[in-house]
Amino acid sequence: MKRAANSLAGALVLALSCVSGASAQSFPAKPIRIIVPFGAGTVTDQAGRYIGQKLTMATGQATVIDNRPGANGIIGAQAGAQAAPDGYTIVFGTNTTQCANQFLYKKLPYDPLKDFAPITKTVQGGIVLVVNATSPAKNLQELIALAKQKPGKLSYGSANSVTLVGMEQLKTLSGVDIVNVPYKTLPAVLTDIIGGQIDMAFGDGVTVMPLVRAGKLRALAISTPKRMAVFPDLPTAIEQGVPGFEVTGWLALFAPAKTPPEVIAKLNALIVSSLKTPEAVEFFGKNGWEPHPGTPEELDAWVRTETERWGRMIKAAGIPPE
């Protein structure tokens, strides 16, 4: 009887293994949904649409972009964590959703490590400090001087951890008092800078540079230690007298936890191949971002390292959790 039970159990495991393998081989057999936890027009949205288009071309299946902005990316990340673990819903995680939020909020409705299965890192880049094109500040030092003349009178908009931590770090390092105004999306922040409701903000190059080139915003500084090749005339904050200032954002794709490893491997292969091309380098590079695809294991290690780094930055900036 015991031998028969063992044989039955072995047969069941083998059958399930065969089903899993067959499922992975046929994946995807229907449209894939990519949840973007931030609004349309952001670098996360742009990356989602680019990768979605490439997935459709490679598989013949439609890819649906599902923008879920709000609550610093929490709404979209939670939706991704709670989706069925079958590979047909994946979510963009960022330094905000996977690392910073756990230090910015007392409680999250998801666990950044336990609730997600890493697929691959996608792109990485710096952020740009912008003001209204008519601002009296022509460079970062002039903006700092203006803020010191008017403590607590100037304001900045924030829509994610990069824009929030970037400015709070700048405030700490330069000794100025600038008021934070939270927003749901970065495009809304930029609209209010143009309209004069707030004075400044950090934002990704994808979102801010078209407005700079159109003469509606003025770019004052970038957050990376070295100048970006695509913006050679835009100096870094370090160059302009703020030593130690550095903020970099990144995007990565995750599936819900318990998604079959075979499906994760298939998604990784499809997405990595779409990013390891000269076309992808050119597409993201025009706004200062670079593709950084890799393995699920590399992404897992990256998130753990970045969590420690963002925790230190947030603590150093003196930002209390909400």
Whole-number Å distance between alpha carbons of 159 and 183? 5
Whether residues 199 and 51 share a domain: the answer is no
Please say whether the beta carbons of 24 and 265 come within 8 A: yes
pTM given for the model: 0.83
- Contact between residue 223 and residue 166 where contact means Cβ atoms under 8 Å apart: yes
- Residue 171, in any domain of the structure: yes
pLDDT of residue 205: 86
- The mean per-residue pLDDT over the stretch 37-57 comes to 94
Do residues 216 and 263 share a domain? no
Residues 60 and 209 in one domain: no
Verify that 257 and 274 share a domain, yes or no: yes
**Is residue 229, in this structure, part of any structural domain at all?**
no
**What's the pLDDT band for 41 if we cut at 50, 70, 90?**
confident
pLDDT at 23: 56
CATH number of the domain within which 176 lies = 3.40.190.10
- In tens, the pLDDT along 209-229 reads 899 999 999 999 999 998 988
| Residue 240 maps to a domain | no
Do 55 and 198 lie in a common domain? no
Which has the minimum average pLDDT: 6-20, 124-138, 140-154, 240-254?
Answer: 6-20
Is 134 inside a domain boundary? yes
Same domain, 282 and 297: yes
Q: How many beta carbons lie within 10 A of that of residue 296, not counting itself?
A: 21
Per-residue pLDDT for 15 more than 90?
Answer: no
More confident call, 277 vs 231: 277
Neighbouring C-beta atoms of residue 194, cutoff 10 Å: 17
Claim to verify: residue 119 and residue 259 sit in the same structural domain: yes
Reported confidence tier of residue 18, pLDDT bands at 50, 70, 90: very low
For residues 200 and 257, membership in a common domain is answered with no
Count of alpha carbons within 13 angstroms of residue 15, beta-carbon side:
6
Domain for residue 110, yes or no?
A: yes
Please compute the mean of the pLDDT values over residues 288-292 and round it to a whole number.
Answer: 91
Pair 114, 173 in one domain: no
Residue 48 lies in a domain: yes
Residue 42 or residue 64, greater confidence = 64
87 and 147 co-located in one domain = no
pLDDT beyond 60 at 285: yes
**What are the angstrom distances between the C-alpha of 246 and each of 22, 116, 132, 237, 301?**
47, 28, 23, 8, 21
Residues 191 and 132 in one domain: yes
Instruction: Collect all residues with Cβ–Cβ distance below 8 Å to 25 and sequence separation of at least 6.
Output: none
* Residue 72 belongs to domain spanning: 31-124+250-316
Mean pLDDT value across residues 276-282: 95
Percentage of the chain lying above the pLDDT 70 cut: 93
Boundary of a domain, candidates 206, 222, 238: 222
- Mind listing the pLDDT tens digit for each residue in 179-200? 999 998 899 999 999 999 999 9
Q: Which of 207, 222, 237 is the last residue of a domain?
A: 222
pLDDT for residue 24: 63
Report if residue 92 sits inside a domain.
yes
Say if 87 falls within a structural domain.
yes
The overall average pLDDT reported for the chain is 91
Residues 6+ apart with CB under 8 A from 97: 37, 72, 73, 74, 76, 77, 112
Tally of domains in the chain: 2
CA 28/CA 322 separation, integer angstroms: 40
| HSE (side-chain half, CA atoms, 13 Å) at 105 | 19
Question: Are 69 and 110 in a shared domain?
Answer: yes
Residues 212, 204: Cα–Cα separation, whole Å: 12
- Is the pLDDT at 5 greater than 70? The verdict is no
CATH number for the domain including 312? 3.40.190.150
**For residue range 78-135, what is the model confidence (pLDDT) as tens digits?**
999 999 999 999 999 999 999 999 999 999 999 999 999 999 999 999 899 999 999 9
Asked if residue 243 has pLDDT above 90, the reply is yes
